[in-house]
């Protein structure tokens, strides 16, 4: 998907990561809207995520027809959050499950993958035992805050191919850059770790200046507390496939590897210094 070099292991002392997410979607499972229906999956997740909470979301639907709008119809959708004291959580809805870690809670891809493995296994084993995956996605949302507001924020931490014109002197004196977000969607043939998938591997890349007070969609949503440069890398497989835990975990690893290589390529020497990059020895 990205024509960038393979990345060698590295570590960041001060990573700009705001949130890491891994999500799997599957056919609607009505049983998981009830306490009795979710009991088995709660037990399977209890070692890693011992605390469960219920979320009821009111959804209002309004339909427009030839005779005009119909009366609003209200439905309640129930989902469940499973948490631990480490700041990592699972959000289970009737048709999706998402593993989410805030920046400070994220402790490396190996530990994150182990938790995702536990989640996938619970979904595959708990009645009614998922048999099909409709979508698999991995998303790493980065927010690099600026120490002081400037007319054109210093984004020299990332390559100019990523930051584009906001890192230039295009603006006149007195003009302040308030916000700018660019979104790019990509689709690529399923090669490498995705061989055999009957559809493309896709990516949504969002980047730009997020102003203080803005809200970035996430699980949970993120409120930006200071002007920040956003680099949001979201890779996914939006194709139906069997719910095979080993296969899905391998695809998670392959998606993460492409996110990791893009992020490392995007860093400049200034960015490597800003975020405290240390190269690690190959295992």
Residues 6 or more apart in contact with residue 147 via CB below 8 angstroms: none
Cβ contact 263:158 at 8 Å: no
163 and 107 both lie in a single domain: no
164 and 262 both lie in a single domain: yes
CA distances to 9, 142, 268 from 280, rounded to whole Å, are 5, 22, 18
Q: What is the pLDDT of residues 127-164, one digit of tens each?
A: 999 999 999 999 999 999 876 555 455 678 899 888 87
The last residue of a domain, from among 130, 152, 170: 130
Q: What is the pLDDT of residues 13-50, one digit of tens each?
A: 999 999 999 999 999 999 998 999 999 999 999 999 99
Residues 6 or more apart in contact with residue 89 via CB below 8 angstroms: 49, 81, 82, 83, 99, 100, 101, 219
φ, ψ dihedrals at 164, nearest 5°:
60, -140
200 and 120 both lie in a single domain: no
Give a yes or no: residue 7 inside a domain: no
State the total domains in the chain. 2
For residue 65, pLDDT beyond 60: no
What pLDDT, on a 0 to 100 scale, did the predictor assign at position 75? 63
Q: Which helix (H) or strand (E) holds 117?
A: helix 109-125
* Residue of 240, 215, 210, 246 whose CA lies nearest to 228: 210
Range of the domain at 162: 138-239+254-274
Positive or negative: CA dihedral 186, 189, 191, 195: positive
The CATH number of the domain where 94 resides is what?
Answer: 3.30.310
* Residue of 43, 20, 42, 255 whose CA lies nearest to 137: 255
Reported as half-sphere exposure (CB side, CA atoms, 13 A), residue 233 has a value of 21
Q: What is the pLDDT of residues 158-194, one digit of tens each?
A: 998 888 776 666 666 666 667 788 899 999 988 877 7
Give a yes or no: residue 4 inside a domain: no
């Amino acid at each position: 998907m990205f024509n960038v070099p393979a990345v060698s292991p590295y570590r960041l002392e001060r990573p700009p990561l705001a949130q890491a997410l891994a999500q799997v979607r599957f056919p609607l499972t009505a049983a998981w809207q009830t306490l009795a229906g979710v009991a088995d999956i709660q037990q399977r997740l209890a070692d890693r995520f011992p605390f469960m909470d219920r979320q009821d979301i009111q959804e209002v639907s309004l339909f427009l027809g030839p005779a005009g709008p119909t009366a609003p119809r209200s439905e309640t959708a129930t989902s469940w959050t499973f948490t631990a004291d480490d700041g990592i959580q699972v959000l289970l809805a009737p048709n999706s499950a998402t593993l989410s870690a805030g920046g400070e809670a994220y402790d490396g891809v190996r530990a994150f993958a182990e938790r995702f493995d536990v989640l996938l296994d619970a979904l595959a084993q708990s009645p009614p035992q998922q048999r099909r995956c409709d979508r698999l996605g991995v998303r790493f949302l980065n927010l690099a805050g600026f120490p002081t507001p400037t007319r054109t924020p210093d984004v020299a931490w990332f390559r100019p191919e990523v930051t584009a014109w906001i890192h230039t002197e295009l603006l006149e004196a007195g003009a302040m850059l308030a916000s700018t977000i660019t979104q790019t969607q990509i689709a690529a043939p399923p090669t490498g770790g995705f061989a055999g998938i009957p559809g493309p591997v896709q990516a949504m890349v969002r980047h730009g200046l997020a102003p203080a007070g803005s809200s970035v969609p996430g699980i949970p949503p993120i409120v930006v507390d200071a002007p920040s440069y956003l680099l949001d890398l979201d890779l996914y497989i939006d194709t139906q496939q069997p719910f095979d835990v080993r296969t899905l975990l391998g695809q998670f690893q392959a998606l993460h590897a492409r996110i990791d290589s893009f992020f490392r390529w995007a860093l400049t020497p200034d960015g490597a210094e800003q975020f405290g990059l240390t190269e690690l020895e190959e295992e």
